[in-house]
Amino acid sequence: MKSSSETRDNSGSLLISTAYLPPISYVSACIHADEILIERCETYPKQTFRNHCIIFGPNGKQLLSIPVIKVDGNRTKTKDIRISDSRSWQKTHWRSIKTAYSNSPYFLYYGDHFIQYFEKKYEFLIDFNTSLLETIIHILKEAKKLTFTDQFEKEVSYKNDHRYLWGKKYSIIHSEFPEYTQVFSSRHGFIPDLSILDLIFNLGPETRQYLESLPNNTV
């Protein structure tokens, strides 16, 4: 693995944070990038998409949060963040996902790709998130290799340093999201930039085309 500090042309590279079932804009940025480097040596910030995702439930936006353990308190690095098993969050999350998307056109086809992550125990958050992202990339028929930082650098050579772009859990990156049919859109209207699950379960094989159509203003 190459360090993020090495001198090279990083114009097509993307430096991002880890994220739990990330927003559509996050995955779009990954699709547009030539290579993806994930920050794992930062001091872990709270209240971000690193351990949160937002789905479209019967009552509108629904936040799903993974309980985590900071082994070194507020100085804990992202790579050392552990997943707490004090609550049955995996069952709760999968139940919420089924409630939100069981009536979507492609839930039955793609659901089996994700259910395994809510049945198997993971110790570290970054391992869990990375495995999910690899599955998402596989579904999109992409051949992106994920690499990781080996030290934290505040200033990096990456032009596309977006480690903190997907920060607060309700942030929207841009407003140019073409509307598509969502399970509860007739009740609440269209909600943009939700978890990538919303796009996969509603658009299925058209997901990649949608992601590629988004403005490439995050990379």
Please answer whether residues 95 and 84 qualify as being in contact, where contact means their C-beta atoms are separated by less than 8 angstroms: no
What average pLDDT is seen over the chain?
A: 86
**pLDDT of 166 above 80:** no
- Quick check: is 3 in a domain? no
Domain that holds residue 20: 13-213
Average pLDDT over residues 56-60: 96
The tens digit of pLDDT for each residue in 74-84 reads 999 999 999 99
How many independent structural domains does the chain possess?
A: 1
- Quick check: is 2 in a domain? no
- Quick check: is 218 in a domain? no
- Quick check: is 67 in a domain? yes
Q: What is the pTM of this model?
A: 0.87
- Quick check: is 134 in a domain? yes
Check residue 21 and give left, alpha or beta (phi > 0: left; psi -120 to 50: alpha): left
Measured CA angle at 97 (ends 93, 98), to 5 deg: 120
- Quick check: is 112 in a domain? yes
- Quick check: is 5 in a domain? no
Q: Is the dihedral of CA 134, 173, 158, 10 positive or negative?
A: positive
- Quick check: is 219 in a domain? no
**pLDDT of 24 above 60:** yes
Q: Is the dihedral of CA 203, 102, 132, 171 positive or negative?
A: positive
The tens digit of pLDDT for each residue in 137-157 reads 999 998 888 999 887 767 666
> How much is the CA Rg of the chain, to the nearest whole Å?
17
